[in-house]
Amino acid sequence: MSVATLSKFTVPLASSQSASNQGLLMPKLQYRFRVILENFGVSTPRSELTKQVVDVTRPSLTFDETILDVYNSRVYLAGKHTWEPMTINLRDDVNNSVTKLCGEQIQKQFDFFEQSSAASGIDYKFSGKIEMLDGGQGANAVTVLETWELYGAYVQNINYNTMAYATSDPATITMSIRFDNAIQA
């Protein structure tokens, strides 16, 4: 396909809204991302966790609905918000780096041997980033296109998933992570 025809694949707009020769912009691709969890577990480095991410859900936000009944109608307002838990799937590596970090984080949240919990959230909560990347590598440095910063996070649910003789798939760990706040940058 000729490069000259690429500008034809777009939605027609008035000339005051867009350059007449501008086609579609390159979309962000789902497979170009990285996840970084800070203060997760106690071992360092934590980079092995980043390398073993299979997939992650981006933050999802819901606002409660507030209804104000007035004379003969209703007015709808945004109420309190809720950040929905995100899910992250990890490959379980042969060095047990991921399993160890996950176990350390769970132990920070609750000491199962002593049956005691942390004194406050600051003792076990962590922060994280989900970065969407442009795909640069080698001589081209990676450019971060979008960042989600997560604050006040903890593991709400962890599943070490199924083992099966009938498959060649890698073993995985699935975590549901609840967080207090997120910022998109």
Residues 40-88 pLDDT 10s = 999 888 899 999 999 999 999 999 999 999 999 999 999 999 999 999 9
Answer yes or no: is 6 within a domain. no
Is residue 49 within 8 A of residue 42, CB to CB? The reply is no
**Could you tell me if 100 and 173 are in contact, meaning their C-beta atoms sit under 8 angstroms apart?**
no
- Residue 11 predicted with pLDDT over 80: no
| Any domain includes 15 | no
Q: Which CATH number do you get for residue 73? A: 2.30.110
DSSP 3-state percent helix, strand, coil across the chain (nearest 5): 15, 40, 45
Residue numbers of the domain that contains 105: 22-184
* pTM of structure: 0.85
Total domains present in the chain: 1
